[in-house]
Amino acid sequence: MKIGTIASHSALNIISGAKAEGFDTLLYCPQNRVKFYQSFGLDDSIVEIESFDDILKMDLSEVVLIPHGSFVAHIGAQKILKSDLKIFGSKELLKWESNRDLKTKLLKEAGFAVPREFLDFGEIDCPVIAKTNGAAGGDGYFIAESASEIEKMMNPDLQYTFQEFVVGTKVFVTYFQSMAKERTEVFGADIRYETDADSNLRFNERPSFVVVGNVPLVLRESILAKYYDMGVAFVNAFHKLAQQKMVGPFCIETIIDKNKQIYSFEFSGRIVAGTNVWIPSSPYSYVQFGEPMWMGRRIAIEIRELVEQERLDQALG
Ligand code: AMP
Ligand code: AMP
């Protein structure tokens, strides 16, 4: 059995972790990125492809694929859900992640405060962030103070969701849900750095939210304790609503306001690029394991332990 992924997003994290645990690895790589990945010494992993969705046509019965942000962005949730690819983690959770109604339902079931959402213009009574549906990485988002302002700023060809704009600090916390060890691990925290919302150099007071990278964040320990509880609550809520066990990395995306109220506006049911800041280790994963532990390696260890327990099947969507 081999571990594979597509060459983007958190591929360096995933492939280096699988190699560190002794797995054979496969990195499905479009031609224009081959040199880049070769420069990290990954020649023996690279499989050249024309486009990312070529993997839907290949025989990957011996490969456990680790899904990341590019799977949904470049291939599409529906195609992945219908495929018989062996995806580590829950395909069901990917489904909940890619549907706004299901997503909100799960966040609420977990007991989290979520920003109000407006389906109808007439209901808007506070500043909002307008999110283009389906797009990823904050493309096309804007903020507006009122319904009439939104009408002026909207692109009529796009569909939007309007959410109460929460003023505060972005905090993205990543977790690992271990089936083999039956525990929830808080893995690390980061801030998604967005242009130009996070830039002080601007003339325009209406920022855009296009993600360019991530910066590491170490939380106040009292706040971290709250996030641990949130992670456990999230896992339990998924279990209850989807009647399935969760396994693998996930992320809860939040904003903390000045009253220390935590609002959750999103989650990801897979590895997020924010974990890239924690190679070779986050403070929390180091304390937990007593040695460098990054998300790619953590995933590989889980796969090996589940193979040893003869229940890897339960962890493949
Ligand atoms: P890429 O292959 O880098 O173009 O990214 C693929 C998908 O993952 C796109 O939808 C990106 O918006 C998203 N993505 C990439 N890097 C990050 C990041 N650091 N944080 C959040 N999303 C990201
Ligand atoms: P999303 O696509 O939902 O992950 O959001 C992308 C970015 O938009 C986030 O990283 C935040 O900077 C911003 N954002 C999303 N939702 C809200 C909200 N309800 N209030 C304020 N900012 C938000």
What DSSP string runs through 167-231?
A: PSEEEEEEEEEETTTTEEEEEEEEEEEEEETT-S--S-SS--EEEEEEEEE---HHHHHHHHHHH
The protein residue with its alpha carbon nearest to ligand 1, atom 6, reads 70
Q: Distance between alpha carbon 24 and the CA centroid of its chain, in Å?
A: 25
- The CATH 3.30.1490 domain(s) of the chain lie at 117-164
Considering the domain delimited by 117-164, tell me its CATH architecture. 2-Layer Sandwich (3.30)
Q: What pLDDT score was predicted for residue 50? A: 97
Tokens encoding 83: 């495929």
Q: What pLDDT score was predicted for residue 173? A: 98
Amino acid at 37: Y
Q: Nearest bound ligand to CA 140?
A: 2
Residues with CB under 6 Å of ligand 2 are: 115, 129, 131, 138, 141, 163-166, 170, 192, 194, 197, 209, 253, 255, 265-266
In the chain, DSSP assigns E strands to 2-6, 25-30, 46-49, 63-65, 117-118, 128-132, 142-144, 160-164, 169-178, 183-196, 209-217, 248-256, 262-268
Identify whether the C-beta of residue 114 lies closer than 8 Å to the C-beta of residue 107.
yes
Tokens encoding 291: 């040695």
Q: Nearest bound ligand to CA 168?
A: 2
- The CATH 3.30.470.20 domain(s) of the chain lie at 2-113+167-315
Tens-level pLDDT at each residue, the chain (317 residues): 999 999 999 999 999 999 999 999 999 999 999 999 999 999 999 999 999 999 999 999 999 999 999 998 888 888 988 899 999 998 889 889 888 889 999 999 999 999 999 987 788 999 999 998 765 678 889 999 988 899 899 988 888 889 999 999 999 999 999 999 999 999 999 999 998 899 877 777 788 899 999 999 999 999 999 999 999 999 999 999 999 999 999 999 999 999 999 999 999 999 999 999 999 999 999 999 999 999 999 999 999 999 999 999 999 98
Q: Nearest bound ligand to CA 161?
A: 2
Write down the CATH number for the domain with range 2-113+167-315.
3.30.470.20
Q: How far is the CA of 83 from the centre of ligand 1 (A)?
A: 22
Strands 169-178 and 248-256: antiparallel
**Mapping DSSP to helix (H, G, I), strand (E, B) and coil, where does residue 263 land?**
strand
Identify whether the C-beta of residue 237 lies closer than 8 Å to the C-beta of residue 110.
yes
The finding on whether 68 has its CB within 6 A of some atom of ligand 1 is no
The finding on whether 134 has its CB within 6 A of some atom of ligand 1 is no
Q: What pLDDT score was predicted for residue 135? A: 55
